[in-house]
Structure 1
């Protein structure tokens, strides 16, 4: 649980750095999958610093996913928005309202409930169908990004954010399914394609639409689906008689995180035109 929460700390700080970098570079095409935009963002020190924190967060996430049910780790990662809110209140001097401070407290309460109710990590290996489906889902994330690029500006950020969340969700499930280095296992390719696609879509969402909306979509995409897969196919469970507590804690943590989604929003660079 310490690894999951520290991972959330890393991801929360990284999201602000990456959003600031994405909005500081020249826009590229209007597509949802824009490799050139990603390349320009990589030249920004904030983006590189954010990637470094993402790397550390990912290592900690792997440790957490190998020892905790996916639904617990997913809720902890959603709580990265609470971390971002607290950082923003200190570093960026963003003032939190009473509702937002309450949401931070609710996130912490939900995580505490999950910690009390979570049972053992499931030990099912996952069927071949699940592994190949995961690879298919990773390419589906890319397709979703291409389609999102054709949408009007308002819904584009939400769809790109959801797509990025699905990509990160693929990574979460893939980490659980990996058992040693086997290049014939489709899970390895699902991990690479899903993670890479998620970064592409999220970078596009940060620049071209409301980052608040994109962040909310990403939270939903990376928490709900993997949690269902973990319980239904991988054997994740709760302690006897505490299933209701785990469901309530999960719902509270995710819902309160969505209240804090605006803290994925980076300040626009001087002279920039605010996006809608």
Structure 2
């Protein structure tokens, strides 16, 4: 009984009162999927309307920031990130990171309905497989708070940030589908590192502990680098391809770290379901990165996107 007030205080800091059986993380997870789906669509439209940046250039973010469409998409992405942060407080990383990929299904559905995207049958089948894999993970996941990451983990995240930035500098020279997949994958690794940082950070007992934790600033740095890499990836090819590559790269490292270091749990007897669900989800996302066709790449974005998304190609939206 002496520990009960501490638990309630920790929950109250983030406005969450989950129980082991019915965690509020499930609600955050569902809202996160919708937010990321809308964010991917809006940011891809803005990236297609922005002049192509051939290198690893932070000015791309400034150019994108002048467009209302990108800013709204960025707001949706921030909302999705915040919801994912809250979901990671109790839900394992292998579930949350795989669920991020489900936002791709929302993006694709909106693209078909709003921008009149045409999907090949293979892409439709892969999206169905993605949904089945995610369903398996939901049934297998066991809500549980995170363990502390430790000093070694903090240093590892700092080194990973430097490596991602250096590799991204050279990957920015790639163009077309290869550049889209390479840069999207690097963005995924950066977002995966941010997810690893956010899982233990979400268990902060107070605002002071939250703002003084180095994980917060590593989370922000990885997110900025990931956002830049994703913007460049979306300029070079299919939105589905870029986002699918990002989601695939974001899922595996975070899932491994969560299970090995952060105490993520699987419901007893459902280990096979978790493994199968994760494998199906991962293969579906990887498949989407290869089968996806460009919806509004720079080669034809000026001709197609304004017609599908709105009137006039000279608006800053």
Helix, strand or coil for the counterpart of 1:104? helix
Given the alignment, which residue of 61, 74, 91 partners 2:97? 74
The aligned residue for residue 223 of structure 2 is 195
TM-superposed deviation, 1:69 = 0.3
The aligned residue for residue 270 of structure 1 is 302
Confirm whether residue 166 of structure 1 aligns to residue 189 of structure 2. yes
Helix, strand or coil for the counterpart of 1:79? helix
TM-superposed deviation, 1:227 = 0.4
The aligned residue for residue 5 of structure 1 is 30
Given the alignment, which residue of 6, 12, 15 partners 2:40? 15
CA contact 1:3–1:61 (8 Å) conserved in 2: yes
Give the 3 Å change call, closer, same or farther, for CA 127–216 of structure 1 in structure 2.
Answer: same
Give the 3 Å change call, closer, same or farther, for CA 18–211 of structure 1 in structure 2.
Answer: same
TM-superposed deviation, 1:98 = 4.2
TM-superposed deviation, 1:163 = 1.1
The aligned residue for residue 94 of structure 1 is 117
Q: Which has the larger radius of gyration?
A: 2
Confirm whether residue 235 of structure 1 aligns to residue 263 of structure 2. yes
TM-superposed deviation, 1:96 = 3.9
List gaps (5 residues or longer) in structure 2: 1-25, 305-317
Q: How many residues align?
A: 270
Give the 3 Å change call, closer, same or farther, for CA 115–154 of structure 1 in structure 2.
Answer: closer
TM-score of the superposition, structure 1-length normalised?
0.88
Given the alignment, which residue of 116, 122, 126 partners 1:103? 126
What are the equivalent positions in structure 2 for 1:80-229 lying under 5 Å apart? 80-151=103-174, 155-178=178-201, 179=204, 180=206, 181-182=208-209, 185-229=213-257
List gaps (5 residues or longer) in structure 1: none
For 1:66 and 1:264, how far apart are their aligned partners in 2? 36
For 2:238 and 2:121, how far apart are their aligned partners in 1? 23
